């Protein structure tokens, strides 16, 4: 009988995990997620900030090429972007990607402001603290400045190093 009882317990055990065992595994997974999520979101935010810096450099390259072709700097991002129809020209020179020409890319909003003899680029996170924790400023000098906060970076902000 003991043998049959032991056999019966082994058969029951082969059907799967007990509810307690499943709850313990789920609790362990949740603890690991709770520890990992803040680091993951911080890494993602850092990656979006680095992408914003790269986009500013792309705009600078586009402005340099635009100046070379048309003798002046573009006054809007749309002038640097691709044309909706037809060939490229001063109104749409196809020098930067379409999403950047629309002013928003990878969690950052970009603005291009014309000034006498040049231009200003500002980049701010769409959702401060989620898509970025810094704002960026640059102009035709191609020096990038940053501000750690929601206020827009300016020509007096610290240099990005």
User: pTM for the full model?
Assistant: 0.77
For residue 64, what pLDDT is reported? 96
CA nearest to 65, candidates 98, 90, 30, 99: 90
pLDDT at 102: 94
What is the domain partition of the chain in residue ranges? 45-147
The answer to whether residues 148 and 159 touch, using CB atoms and an 8 Å cutoff, is: no
H or E element, residue 159? none
The per-residue pLDDT for range 108-140, each reduced to its tens digit, is 999 999 999 999 999 999 999 888 999 999 999
pLDDT digits (tens, 9 = 90+) for 40-72: 888 899 999 999 999 999 999 999 999 999 999
Name which of 1-5, 58-62, 71-75 the model is least confident about. 1-5
Q: Is the pLDDT of residue 6 over 60?
A: no
Strands across the sheet containing 144-147: 104-105, 108-115, 118-125, 135-139, 144-147
């Amino acid at each position: 009988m003991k043998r049959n009882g032991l056999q019966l317990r082994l058969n029951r055990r082969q059907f799967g995990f007990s509810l307690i065992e499943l709850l313990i595994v789920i609790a362990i997974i949740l603890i690991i997620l709770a520890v990992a999520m803040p680091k993951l979101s911080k890494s993602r935010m850092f990656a979006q900030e680095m992408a914003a810096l790269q986009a500013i450099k792309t705009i600078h390259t586009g402005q340099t090429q635009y100046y070379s072709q048309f003798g002046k700097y573009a006054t809007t991002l749309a002038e640097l972007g691709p044309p909706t129809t037809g060939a490229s020209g001063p109104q749409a020179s196809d020098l930067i990607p379409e999403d950047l020409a629309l002013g928003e890319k990878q969690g950052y909003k970009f603005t291009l402001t014309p000034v006498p003899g040049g231009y200003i680029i500002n980049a701010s996170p769409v959702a401060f603290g989620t898509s970025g924790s810094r704002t960026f400023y640059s102009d035709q000098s191609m020096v990038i400045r940053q501000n750690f906060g929601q206020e827009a970076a300016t020509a007096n902000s610290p240099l990005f190093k």
